[in-house]
Amino acid sequence: MHHRPASAHALAKLKMSVFVFPTCGVAPSIVSCNSRRAQRLAASAKALDVDVNLAPPTTRIAPRVPEGAPVVPPQDLASRPRRNRRSSTVREAFRETILTPSNFIYPIFVHDGEDDIPIESMPGQSRLGWKTGMIDKVREARAAGVNQVVVFPKTPDNLKSETAEECFNPNGLAQRSISLLKDTFPDLEVYTDVALDPYNTMGHDGMVRSDGVVMNDETVYYLCKQAVSQARAGADVISPSDMMDGRVGAIREALDAEGFTNVAIMSYTAKYNSAYYGPFRDALASAPRPGSEDWKIPKDKAEYQMDPANFRECLREAALDEAEGADIMMVKPAGAYLDIIRALKDNTTLPISAYQVSGEYSMLKAASAAGYLTEKDAVLESLIAIKRAGADLTLTYYAVDAAKWLQEM
C-alpha cells in the first residue's frame, strides 16, 4: 500500500502518541477516523525513518502569539475547514454565489405628474413622474448594469372603480409608462404588474362580492384584458401578482390569441399573505378599504394569497403554473421564505425569481438609519442569501444601490 509522506509536524506528534493507538483493540469497523489516520502516519514514519529534527531551516519569522496563550498540543484533525477560508483570495476562489446586476429587477412606482414624490415608508424611493423621473431613474439603473424593471402605477382615486376597468385602459398610466420605456430604451426588459388592486376602490386584487368573496373567474377575465393591453404597449414580461386560480393559463391563451407569443409570463407562484407588503400599499394607496354591513370587504388577502404557515402548497401552485405556461416562477416575499425558493428551485427547471418586498427594504433602511446595521453589508448579505437559496432573478428596491456597490468592489 502506498502512503503519502507524512509531514514533519504530524510525525513529531506521533512520536508522542504513536504507542497509544495500536493497542486500543477496537473492532476495525468502529476505529475512529482519527485513529486510523494516526496508524497510517505511524506506518509511513517507520517506513521512511524520518528524523523530524532534520526539517530544513527556514528564514521565515514565526508569528508571535499573545503572551499568556496556552501551550497545547495541536488537535489531530485530518480535516480543518478553516484552511479553505484562510485568505480573501481563497475565499473568492471557492465562492459559490456571486451577485451580478444582470439578475436584478428594479421595481419602480410611477404617477401621472411631473415631480418625484418621496414615499415616506420607503426612504430613498419615490413615486416618479412617468415622463421625467422615471426615465432619469431607469437611465441611472442601466448605467449601473440594471436593465430590467417592473412598473407599478399609482392610480388617482377618481379613476378607480369597483370593477377596475382602468387596468386595461389603452391610454392608462401603466400602458403609457411601458410604452415610453420601450421607446426610450428598446433593450430594457420591461415587466408589468397584473392585478386589480391599484385600480379597485375596495383595494383588492380581484372584484369583491357583497358577502366579501373575491370573485375568481370574473377577475381573471379582466386580468386577461389587462395583460393584453400591457403587451400592446410593448411589455416584455407580464407578471400576474393577483393569485387568482387559472390566471396564468388564461393570460397565456389571451396573449397567444392576439399574436403575443413572444411575450413572457412571470407568475407570482408562491405569493404569501404577508405583513411585509405594508409600505408598498402606502406607496400606491392600495390597501384594502373598510367594508360595511351592506358590502363586506376582507381586511386582508388571506382568501387568495398563501398562508405563511404553509409549505406544501407552494409545490401545488408551482405544478399548476408550470402546466399553464409560466416562463418564470416567483416567490414573494424573499428573505423569510428562503425554504420556499429552494423548494421551487428543486422542483422545476424554470427560472425562479424572488421579490425582496417593500417591508424587507424598509426594515433594512430603518435599521441602517438607526445605526444598528451597516447598510451595504446587510443588504448585500440579504441578496446573496436569496440567490444562494435558488433565486435566478431578484426583484429589489435596492437594485440600483446594490449594483453601484458591486461596481465599487
Interacting residue ranges for ligand PBG, rule: CB under 6 A: 193, 195, 197, 205, 241-242, 277, 280-281, 301, 357-358
Q: Position of cell 415608508?
A: 121
Q: Note if 271 is an active site residue.
A: yes
Q: Which is nearer to ligand PBG, 213 or 302 (CB)?
A: 302
Q: Residue 261 Cβ, how far from ligand PBG at the closest point, in Å? A: 25
Q: Residue 125 Cβ, how far from ligand PBG at the closest point, in Å? A: 10
Q: Residue 248 Cβ, how far from ligand PBG at the closest point, in Å? A: 15
Q: Position of cell 377596475?
A: 164
Query: HSE-up of 293 (CA within 13 Å, CB side)?
Result: 0
CA–chain centroid gap for 187, Å, is 23
302 phi and psi angles, rounded to 5 deg: -65, -25
CB atoms within 10 A of CB 399: 25
Q: Which is nearer to ligand PBG, 119 or 389 (CB)?
A: 119
Residues 149-164 as b/e (b if ≥16 CB within 10 A, e otherwise) read bbbbbbbeeebbeebb
Q: Residue 221 Cβ, how far from ligand PBG at the closest point, in Å? A: 17
**Letter for the amino acid at 11?**
L
Q: Which is nearer to ligand PBG, 33 or 285 (CB)?
A: 285
Q: Residue 351 Cβ, how far from ligand PBG at the closest point, in Å? A: 19
Report the alpha-carbon distance of residue 387 to residue 390 in Å, rounded.
5
Report the alpha-carbon distance of residue 273 to residue 306 in Å, rounded.
5
Rg of the chain (C-alpha set): 29
- Rounded to whole angstroms, what are the CA distances from 178 to 142, 191, 320, 324? 16, 9, 28, 25
Q: Residue 270 Cβ, how far from ligand PBG at the closest point, in Å? A: 13
Q: Which is nearer to ligand PBG, 130 or 276 (CB)?
A: 276
Q: Is the sign of the CA dihedral 337, 341, 344, 347 positive or negative?
A: negative
212 phi and psi angles, rounded to 5 deg: 90, 5
Q: Which is nearer to ligand PBG, 191 or 277 (CB)?
A: 277
Q: Note if 301 is an active site residue.
A: no
In this structure, are residues 119 and 279 in contact, taking their beta carbons and an 8 Å threshold?
A: yes
DSSP symbol at 268: E
- Rounded to whole angstroms, what are the CA distances from 398 to 101, 132, 257, 278, 328? 11, 21, 37, 17, 21
Report the alpha-carbon distance of residue 11 to residue 49 in Å, rounded.
10
Q: Residue 279 Cβ, how far from ligand PBG at the closest point, in Å? A: 7
Residues 245-258 as b/e (b if ≥16 CB within 10 A, e otherwise) read eebbbbbbebbeee
107 phi and psi angles, rounded to 5 deg: -80, 130
Q: Which is nearer to ligand PBG, 38 or 107 (CB)?
A: 107
User: Residues 271, 345, 365, 387: which is the catalytic one?
Assistant: 271
Q: Which is nearer to ligand PBG, 241 or 353 (CB)?
A: 241
Report the alpha-carbon distance of residue 148 to residue 142 in Å, rounded.
8
Q: Residue 106 Cβ, how far from ligand PBG at the closest point, in Å? A: 12
- Reading the block at residue 71, the C-alpha cell is 501551550
Q: Which is nearer to ligand PBG, 11 or 197 (CB)?
A: 197
User: Residues 13, 137, 160, 332: which is the catalytic one?
Assistant: 332
CB atoms within 10 A of CB 63: 5
Give the residue numbers marked as catalytic: 271, 332
